[in-house]
Amino acid sequence: MEFLIGLAIALIVTSYLAYNRASLRVFTLAFTAMLFIGYIYNFVGTFAWIVFVAVALPLNVRSLRQQLISSKLLKAFQKIMPEMSDTEKDALNAGTTWFEAELFKGDPNWDKLHKFPQPRLTLEEQEFLDGPVEEVCRLCDDWETTHEIADLSPEVWQYLKDNKFFAMIIKKQYGGLEFSAYAQSRVLQKLSGVSIVLASTVGVPNSLGPGELLQHYGTKEQQDHYLPRLATGEEIPCFALTSPEAGSDAGAIPDFGIVCKGEFDGKEVLGMRLTWNKRYITLAPIATILGLAFKLYDPDNLIGEESDLGITCALIPTDIEGVVTGRRHFPLNVPFQNGPTQGENIFVPLDFIIGGSDMAGQGWRMLVECLSVGRAITLPSNAAGGTKQVALATGAYSHIRRQFKLPIGKMEGVEEALGRIGGNAYLMDAVTTMSTGAVDLGEKPSVVSAICKYHLTEKMRSCIIDAMDIHGGKGVCMGPANYLARGYQGAPIAITVEGANILTRNMIIYGQGAIRCHPYVLAELEAAANPNFEQAVEDFDQAVFGHVGFTISNMIRSVWFSLSAAHFVKAPFKDKTHRYYQIMTRFSSNLALISDLSMASLGGDLKRRERISARLGDVLSYLYLTSATLKRFNDEGRIKEDEALMMWAVEDSLYKCEKAMLELTQNFPNRLLGKLFKLLVLPFGTSMKKPSDVLDHKVAMIIQTPSASRDRLGKGQYLNQTNGSVTGQLEATLINIIKAEKVIDKINKATGKRHAIINLDQLADTALANGYISTEEAELLVVTEKQRKAVINVDDFETMDLIANQEKHQANLPEKNKIKAA
């Protein structure tokens, strides 16, 4: 009995120390004390002391530990360590980690999250949004852009150049705007609500491209020459990476350059002969300066001892003879300037390399470092802005449009879809705000940027599909009055570019996250790669024993959180969010534990088990999305009216987070280990639920009813009600419909009948003649009826207006119809 009591005490003390992540020294002292007490009370004999000393001595004496344990573990680790290409190493080393690393530790510091400053616009940035951005939104006619001229109008192009829209990232010393990442995000959100072509055209030069690369890596001569021209729009940039043979696998580009001597501008110089064939290059058809990625070779060792220098980036003026641009791709009826470019055996000087000849072979590192920033801004912001606009428009339409004498927004099936749209819009704005805030703090968050790119573009696609379902025929019939169709058509573009989403989810998020965010894995890999074995053992010893303690701690924490449902975990607030923080802490510990066990059991094979990697990445991602949502709610003052939006976003994310863990345990390659994982993290099965019908209803009501909460949801979007903006007129109609409903209620009471919201102009005449309403109320009904019909009507066209090749159409007509058609 005494032995069992002693064992129970030992287990409790061990668990307590592991839960609180005590050091090895503290563990040793605690066991020494317990053994001493047991020895005094005759629970413990000499043999137990011998065993304890035999174990504790080599663990606590570093030299012994390294010689007897760590050196052997290092050799074993080096044998199973997965091989990494140079491009993979560059990608892993690019950028920084931020709050996502906290989520990987198993014990997130929520106070740290809420102490990050809330991003804010400067006066200059706000004036730009209220002035030039508002004006270019007014100038841009998306139907003209996408259907009639397949381009932005000359007036819009000139306005963009004159107002330095392409210079948001360029420093003021070169004539640029030098806006914050947060300001860039707000600009793109507003533009994307008006036109995808407009947002893409502005977004690309301010993301990964010549401007960004020049500022970070260019020579002073290159910066002084190009950046002022880029700022004024005198030069239009593009960046060419993708080729027919290399898309997501950008490291496999076949485009090449050979270092050699040649003639340029009448002089013999040291340069390179370039051959390339690129496609999908945004702005290439109109670019004046081409940023080019290629593999550079120096077979005659003219600039160094290596002949294979690697991926290199150069700036090529497109007016050089032999540079081919001008032709266009036609991406899903969203005709932003995008097309192929080719060049064959074109000689240019070595100083065309960005950064000069010293940066030869450094192109891939340059690209992934810049991508870790740009990918957190452009596509996520476009997706968030588009979704916010869709939320407002669909909410308004759902209240205006009637079926069965009810607003369609009151139908439960529609409410469900509206809940998804509104909740996701709130979350997406929260994520872009928090992530661009990280960039403005000096971070280059490569893992966060991948999370943002994947999840926000996927959510955008889901929301636009929901919106199309709600609008029905209104969304299907294209024309100037259709504010959804181009977004619906173009959604796959965002899914595809800057790393296809399948690749991003299955390989990048967790592939980078597991190594960069884990507190010990990167140190272990670096130690294993160190050719100095003595130093490698020293570094590996520190990392691997820290890793072991980390794993034990997360195992104890996961088991305890599972048994207690994490009810005893501290949380920063005592309101409705209290429980969310507790659950997130539990899931964070679960993620850390399952990650370690997966890496230990699968080793290098985890790299090839993409669906396991994807689900682990999903857990990390949803924890990050939830963190951003809770931070937004707190930063905005924990407003009661916004609770439903916050709760929907959090509960949806936590439900999907737990679902990802469950699916991982069910599909783990070793079924026995999968069951063990489930026993550790989900012993009683799943507990999270999707947002309830009640929550869907609350969110649906918010986006259908003008209010301060709805205004915050759509903050910053273009909704001008006076200049023909389709969505602006939709907002005006919503306001008048709600006013008209009160007038109709008045008529209903007077007549004892229930009047449908249809033919309101006729109803106004009758009600006014009978004295039921005032002249002002009658005028309101007349105006509202005109607006209502404009909202529910769709465009129609003459046949010839829809035919792109009218000559071919005429040639194929029967003779008797040709005159009529003409």
Residue 317: helix, strand or coil by DSSP?
strand
> Rounded to the nearest 10 degrees, how much is the dihedral formed by the CA atoms of 88, 90, 93, 97?
-70
| pLDDT exceeds cutoff 50 at 10 | yes
* Residue 192 or residue 811, greater confidence: 192
| pLDDT exceeds cutoff 50 at 458 | yes
Residue 65: Cβ within 10 Å count? 18
| pLDDT exceeds cutoff 90 at 219 | yes
On whether the CB atoms of residues 271 and 261 are closer than 8 A, the answer is yes
Per-residue model confidence as pLDDT tens digits over 381-439? 999 999 999 999 999 999 999 999 899 999 999 999 999 999 999 999 999 999 999 99
Lowest-confidence range among 190-204, 361-375, 655-669? 361-375
On whether the CB atoms of residues 323 and 346 are closer than 8 A, the answer is yes
> Rounded to the nearest 10 degrees, how much is the dihedral formed by the CA atoms of 588, 591, 592, 597?
160
Distance CA 72, CA 67 (A): 8
Looking at residue 526, its pLDDT comes to: 82
DSSP state of 321: T
Distance CA 548, CA 53 (A): 20
Distance CA 128, CA 165 (A): 10
**Strand partners of residue 262:** 269
**Strand partners of residue 290:** 238, 316
Residue 310: Cβ within 10 Å count? 18
Looking at residue 817, its pLDDT comes to: 57
Q: For the chain, what's the residue count?
A: 822
* b/e code 786-817 from CB counts within 10 Å (16+ = b): ebbeebbeeeeeeeeeeeeeeeeeeeeeeeee
Amino acid at 305: E
Query: Could you tell me the CA-to-CA distances from 230 to 160, 171, 363 in Å, in that order?
Result: 12, 11, 21
On whether the CB atoms of residues 426 and 463 are closer than 8 A, the answer is no
Region 356-367: what's the mean pLDDT?
90
* Residue 639 or residue 799, greater confidence: 639
On whether the CB atoms of residues 501 and 428 are closer than 8 A, the answer is no
| pLDDT exceeds cutoff 90 at 62 | no
Looking at residue 818, its pLDDT comes to: 53
For residue 789, which of 812, 821, 758, 817 has the smallest C-alpha distance? Answer: 758
On whether the CB atoms of residues 177 and 170 are closer than 8 A, the answer is yes
Looking at residue 821, its pLDDT comes to: 47
Distance CA 304, CA 232 (A): 38
Region 214-231: what's the mean pLDDT?
95
Looking at residue 20, its pLDDT comes to: 83
**Which phi-psi region, left, alpha or beta, contains residue 403 (left: φ > 0; alpha: ψ -120 to 50)?**
beta
Looking at residue 530, its pLDDT comes to: 84
Lowest-confidence range among 52-66, 157-171, 486-500, 748-762? 52-66
CA atoms within 13 A of residue 399's CA, in its CB half-sphere? 24
| pLDDT exceeds cutoff 90 at 18 | no
* b/e code 400-437 from CB counts within 10 Å (16+ = b): bbbeeeebbbbbeebbbbbbbbbbbbbbbbbbbbbbbb
Looking at residue 364, its pLDDT comes to: 86
CA atoms within 13 A of residue 522's CA, in its CB half-sphere? 17
Whole-number percent of the chain with pLDDT over 90: 70
Distance CA 332, CA 200 (A): 14
Catalytic residues: 498
On whether the CB atoms of residues 60 and 24 are closer than 8 A, the answer is yes
Region 747-775: what's the mean pLDDT?
93
| pLDDT exceeds cutoff 90 at 767 | yes
- Radius of gyration, alpha carbons of the chain: 31
The helix (run of H) or strand (run of E) holding residue 267 is strand 267-282
Q: Please report the beta strands in 408-480, taking only residues with DSSP state E, as ranges in sequence order.
A: none
| pLDDT exceeds cutoff 70 at 815 | no
- Structure tokens belonging to residue 76: 């074993």
| pLDDT exceeds cutoff 70 at 86 | no
Region 706-732: what's the mean pLDDT?
92
Looking at residue 85, its pLDDT comes to: 63
Q: Please report the beta strands in 538-634, taking only residues with DSSP state E, as ranges in sequence order.
A: none
* Residue 681 or residue 48, greater confidence: 681
* b/e code 757-775 from CB counts within 10 Å (16+ = b): beebeebbeebbeeebbee
- Structure tokens belonging to residue 308: 């294979």
- Structure tokens belonging to residue 757: 């919201």
Lowest-confidence range among 341-345, 513-517, 669-673, 676-680? 513-517
Region 548-577: what's the mean pLDDT?
92
Looking at residue 87, its pLDDT comes to: 63
| pLDDT exceeds cutoff 80 at 531 | yes
Looking at residue 340, its pLDDT comes to: 97
Distance CA 794, CA 789 (A): 9
For residue 396, which of 70, 732, 133, 102 has the smallest C-alpha distance? Answer: 732
Strands 406-407 and 402-403: antiparallel
Residue 397: helix, strand or coil by DSSP?
helix
Residue 207: helix, strand or coil by DSSP?
coil
* Residue 559 or residue 604, greater confidence: 559
Per-residue model confidence as pLDDT tens digits over 236-292? 999 999 999 887 777 789 999 999 999 998 899 999 999 999 999 999 999 999 999
Query: Could you tell me the CA-to-CA distances from 50 to 14, 39, 44, 55, 58 in Å, in that order?
Result: 20, 13, 11, 9, 13
Is residue 49 very low, low, confident or very high in pLDDT (cuts 50, 70, 90)? confident
Is residue 19 very low, low, confident or very high in pLDDT (cuts 50, 70, 90)? confident
Region 291-299: what's the mean pLDDT?
95
- Structure tokens belonging to residue 202: 């502005």
Is residue 64 very low, low, confident or very high in pLDDT (cuts 50, 70, 90)? confident
Distance CA 100, CA 95 (A): 13
260: phi then psi, degrees, rounded to nearest 5: -165, 175
Distance CA 656, CA 427 (A): 14
The helix (run of H) or strand (run of E) holding residue 342 is strand 338-349
For residue 457, which of 507, 512, 393, 386 has the smallest C-alpha distance? Answer: 386
Is residue 84 very low, low, confident or very high in pLDDT (cuts 50, 70, 90)? low
Mean pLDDT over each residue of the chain, to the nearest integer: 91
Per-residue model confidence as pLDDT tens digits over 597-614? 998 888 778 878 899 999
